Chain A
Amino acid sequence: MILRLLNFVVIGALVLAAAWVYRIKFDATVQGEQLAKLRTEVRHQRDEIAALRADWGELDNPARIQALADRFLHLKPITPTQFDTLDTLPDRPTAQPVTASSDPIGSMIENSAPPEAAETPTTTGSIPAPSAPTAPAPPGPVNGAPRQ
């Protein structure tokens, strides 16, 4: 009696085990296929990247750039005299006295007009106007005037 029960239990376990193994196997197959698909995709992407890099290398070739620059740009080779060191850079101009006037640019021009006129060419555009953060520039003339 116990032996028979044992037999049934074993048969049941066998069926379950078979089902479980089938599931694992099926899952593994699905995963494997996905892996293969991803691998192929990765390889294709890599190939595509390589092809694009090769194209880029061709377009970025200095000889080609030089030919294009010679044809379309009015640039000349840089000469040694065009280099300079940071310590010869002129000092930052001393802060302008900020007036309470509503026209900051106008007051700046007034302040710096006659005596510093000779020095203005040395100040470059990269130096921010000292009073810029206090008052926003009037939008109308700044945006409109130079474009038209």
Chain B
Amino acid sequence: MSATADTFSLSSGDRRPQPAAIPWRQWLIQKLLYGRNIDRGAKAKARIGLAILAFATVYAVIAARLVMFALVANSHNTHRVVSGDAVATARPDILDRNGEVLATDVRVPSLYAEPRRLIDVDEAAELLTADLPDLDPKELRERLSSKRGFVWLKRDIAPEQQREIYHQGLPGIGFLNENKRDYPNGAEVSHLIGHVDIDNQGIAGIEKWLDGQGLNALHMAGLATDRLQNPVQLAVDLRVQHVLRDELVKARAKFGAIAAAGLVLNVRTGEIVALVSEPDYDPNNPSQALDPTRINRLTTGVYEMGSTFKAFTVAMALDSGKITLKSSFDAREPLQMGRFTIHDFEPQHRLLTVPEIFTYSSNIGAARIALASGGDAQRTFLDKMGQLDRLRTELPESAEPIVPKRWSALNTATIAFGHGLSVAPLQAVMGVAALMNGGVLIPPTFLKRSEADAQKLGKRVIKPETSAIMRYLMRLNVEKGTAEKAEVPGYYIGGKTGTADKVISGRYSKDKVLTDFMAVLPADQPRYLLLIMLDEPHAMPETHGFTTSGWNAVPTGGAVVARIAPLLGIQPRMDLPTADQQILASARESR
């Protein structure tokens, strides 16, 4: 090395200050290497120096490559270990609010073949079909004789099958461990949680929402292969969910309804504690989800909610100050609106006060209240309550409410009792929750949320005093009204029933109805709102031939409350005074 340095110093010492006109490269070539009038010794030294430079460069490159190989070889090795499994995306676990597993990844072996490396296709096909009888032999042979480098033969095989195929020692047949989504609770949380496709990509429900939260990008970058992601905790309580589903399945079977749905919402935080839409499906078997009767009726269906909308009508009129609890309205005659006549289900043929309109569920009364307030006020109020726009939650599926294009007086009258405006049931629940919780509209969520966060998100829609009056009316309706059958002593339930005639081929059907029931518990210090909805319940001997909500959805709601209240930590209080003392009087005192 020292010799090289000498040569260089000599040659560089040899360089004379060059003439300015000629560029230095030209000077180097002409004068030093090939110039005729240059000393031969100096020329030789310069040439040797050049050769040394060239070789040194080559060796430096080789050395650098060696270092690179030494570094890269290591990571290459570990990479090969990892690629032995993990083809499908790893997904974070999904837990309920108490930490119970709702969805998790398990590793399952999948069988693949490399047809180019196969020696005897016939033998391989024969042996494989012997072990995996459910493989189609013709298709298998086709796949094995293809010219491709890699084909999947069967995803998700049992460990004992893997062992047997492994022991056959077929060349070109191998296994990859893949993540497979497992839903230990089966159909219990189906609509809420959604499901994934064969490559572990979320295609419905919370699973799809997760993909939208950047998991997809992680997977594209090849990073989401290991189980290192934080679990996602939902607001749902598995026990409450189970009770709700259990009761709804029973109710659906008992009343022969084509569908039943239910929802439990925390009115203070907007958390959805349970959501069931029967019929549902098993997310472990997602092909069932394609059946259109198994849609999530609470978010993707829109329905005329019937009399539960009277809560909005009454709240609107009370909040604007146009009416008070003592106001009364004429319900002596059916209300004539052009070609249409609005009847009451239980006609009283007299003047009704506002609480009576609510507890008798008088359509005429509600229509008159709405007409007195005016269509514009109704429209503005319903818009404020979030009933006219599409409600978006974490669930990707949502439905646009069906709002009349022209808001005529007839529309005003019918919407007052929940006909002529179709909303997603979750949307209606959100609105009624705002009427109950002191007047704050909180967007519902499937994720855990604290009360403080909810208050930040919420916006005030009605006065707290109006909310207290609405709670009084709800409670009154259970004490002496259409929701009497929901009473469970000790839990102070308040509730409003709804029975909507279904629209069959453009006309309101006489006998097909959708019944729903909204219950608030406890009515004096509201914490949870429960919705029960039955689609086309049938009349039974014990319902005396009635199909109205009070005979089917309401008792179901009572049964659900009796079971979920202990789970939700609601303490039973016996011997509470009636609604006018417990809610109205205390609201007046606090004012």
Contacts and interface: CB of A to CB of B under 8 A. Distances in A.
A27 interface: no
A46 B246 contact: no
Contacts of A61: 184-186, 188, 242
Interface stretch (A76-84, A110-118, A130-138): A76-84
Instruction: Give the size category of B's interface with A.
Output: 35 or more
Contact of B574 (A43, A54, A81): A81
Nearest to A59: B184
Contacts of A80: 488-491, 562, 565, 572, 574
Contacts of B105: 50
B240 to A, nearest CB: 9
Given A53-B101, A57-B100, A83-B572, A66 B246 contact: yes
A112 B32 CA distance: 127
Secondary structure type dominating chain B contacts: mixed
B100 A60 contact: yes
Interface string B232-248: 00000011001101100
Contacts, number: 86
Given A32-B74, A57-B185, A62-B239, A81 B490 contact: yes
A63 interface: yes
Contacts of B70: 25
B107 interface: yes
B182 interface: yes
Given A40-B81, A56-B101, A78 B184 contact: no
Contacts of A103: none
Interface string A9-32: 000000000000000010011001
Contact residue range for chain A? 20 to 34
A41 to B, nearest CB: 12
A55 B70 CA distance: 44
A97 B200 CA distance: 72
B574 A51 contact: no
A22 B77 CA distance: 19
B563 A77 contact: yes
A36 to B, nearest CB: 5
Interface of A: 25, 28-29, 32, 36, 39-40, 43, 46-47, 50-51, 53-58, 60-63, 66, 77-81, 83, 85
Given A32-B77, A57-B102, A77-B562, 5 more contacts: A53-B101, A57-B104, A80-B574, A81-B574, A83-B572
